[in-house]
Structure 1
Amino acid sequence: MLQQIKETAEWIKQHTAMRPLTAIVLGTGLGRLAQEIEIVEAFPYQDIPNFPVSTVEGHSGKLIFGRLGGKDVMALQGRFHFYEGYNMKQVTFPIRVMYELGIQNLFVSNAAGGMNPDFEIGDLMLITDHINFMPEHPLHGPNFPTGPRFPDMHEAYDHQFLDMARAIAKEKGIRTVEGVYLATQGPTFETPAEYKMYHIFGADAVGMSTVPEVIVAHHCGIRVFGVSIITDLGVEGKIVEVSHEEVQKAADAVQPLMAEIFREMVKRI
């Protein structure tokens, strides 16, 4: 795997002169944020050596290099999920490649079901912490040389980034909420009983991604900021049947607000 990571990073270096310090992972229905980036180069995943290929609707599958907020950035337009059949080494492969390319900051986004009764559909939730309910850990196996065997996780989501996001949201009048994100395997949406259980456990939102990427980024010493767009509610009395298409639609509606926060944060880093 280490050899494949280095091969992929070298291929990318040979195909672009850009060396951004910040990377963005765009989740389900959030690919429109890529339109905010002044694209210099875009590589379909299938053209990149050793790269997995996203199979989920709403994930276009491109690695983008460009400028956002006046700074060079890299963006994954579409991520990889455990439920697609990939193992955790494949799911987090792009994060390992980003480290090899010199990335220091990672912004992650996702669509999630809200379980906090104070949340509304369309809310932007700043992720303050997470709970890992995935059946496989991304650091399982021989330890990668990018970090310790037993990494501390008390600040998986950078506190300075969170303070910056709070200040920007207040300046621009953007409603944000905050909470803990819980990651499950998927691909089924949660039952009412599961929503209730996860909320009792301390989670405010639930989804099927993000946590493996954050763990690996943290293991590499990359600073992380995360946002969940609340696309449906798992609150007792408010639970309704939900489809992937409805999740995409809800995420699409609020993308400009998330883009505004991301753009301003990149500018200030």
Structure 2
Amino acid sequence: MSKEDLVEYCAPSMEHPVAIVLGSGLGALADRVKVVRRIPYEDIDGFPQEALPIEGHRFEVLVGTIDGVPVVVYPGRVHLYQGYNALQVTSLVRHAHRLGCRDIILTCASGAVRDAKPGTFGLITDQMNLTGHNPLSTPEGAAHSLFDTPFVPMTGAYSNYLTTFAREAAAEVGVECSEGTYVGMLGPSFETDAEVKALGILGADYVGCSTVCEAIMARALKMQVLGLTLVTNKAGAADNSHEAELAAGNAAADDTTGVLLGVLRRLGGLQA
């Protein structure tokens, strides 16, 4: 769907909607969208046509508003561990950019490497990409045509002003937050004790299997990035499971929605 198509279906105030990618168990916000247009993921350029959503995800873009703020919501993603390449897993980011989004909120579930408590939120202030993949490392001209250079500085990749908005929004609704570095691993297996110890030495606070490639692509496209992770488990715990992640996400649905709504209100104030 082109930006021109978007304008056809949306009010003029939607020139710069906010993009939101919802991770495992974090899809409750999608129910708040006043939808004016639905786009199947299969219509997104570069998205793998054969992909099926894992539990806790769905593949339909919701274009509309939340409390009057223009949004493009992606209630699911594909992952490197499903066998897709870094360009495919970042197709949602490129799609959002083509629809005029300048700000993007990347949400995900993660394991706590150090002190963060399961059930709390983490504001991602930095990242380490240990997946072995990078969406800018590709010979495909279609991707390179979107940005000036693949040699993108990643210092400051997570927006200070968006993180401040999230910090304020969390305090406003009484949600406990930590802040720190998110490490992206390939997955899908959970981390070993030795890996958790190594990640702690490297300075990691959270670990998961998404987000880092999306943040790299968004940075290359000069988008402002907010990273919000729900800490669903302790990294390295013997009883970790995807089902437990989803349960933790569902339990935190009201808190997640409250924080994201607070961020959107603040962004809406900037656009007004």
| Aligned match for 1:29, one of 19, 25, 47 | 25
Query: Which amino acid is the alignment partner of residue 164 of structure 2?
Result: D
Q: Name 1:115's counterpart in structure 2.
A: 113
Could you list the per-position Cα deviations for residues 197-231 of structure 1 after superposition, in whole angstroms to 9, with x for gaps in the alignment?
A: 11111110100000101110011010000111011
Distance 1:141 1:120 in 2: 38
Q: Name 2:255's counterpart in structure 1.
A: 257
Q: CA deviation at 1:16?
A: 3.4
Alignment pair present for 1:17 and 2:10: yes
1:49-88 mapped onto 2 (5 Å cutoff) = 50-52=46-48, 53-88=51-86
Provide the aligned C-alpha RMSD in A.
2.0
Query: Which amino acid is the alignment partner of residue 130 of structure 1?
Result: Q
Identity in percent: 34
| Aligned match for 1:247, one of 245, 248, 270 | 245
Query: Which amino acid is the alignment partner of residue 9 of structure 1?
Result: S
Distance 1:48 1:166 in 2: 32
Distance 1:48 1:15 in 2: 18
Alignment pair present for 1:180 and 2:181: yes
Work out the number of aligned pairs and report it.
Answer: 258
Q: CA deviation at 1:186?
A: 0.7
Q: Name 1:44's counterpart in structure 2.
A: 40
Query: Which amino acid is the alignment partner of residue 201 of structure 1?
Result: L
Change (3 A) 1:204 1:188: same
Q: Name 1:155's counterpart in structure 2.
A: 156
SS at 1:63 equivalent: strand
Change (3 A) 1:9 1:265: same
SS at 1:111 equivalent: strand
Query: Which amino acid is the alignment partner of residue 65 of structure 2?
Result: R
2:185·2:210 contact (CA, 8 Å) conserved in 1? yes
Q: CA deviation at 1:255?
A: 2.1
**Structure 1 spans left out of the alignment, 5+ residues:** 1-7
Distance 1:45 1:32 in 2: 19
Distance 1:134 1:125 in 2: 20
Alignment pair present for 1:230 and 2:231: yes
Q: CA deviation at 1:47?
A: 5.1
SS at 1:160 equivalent: helix
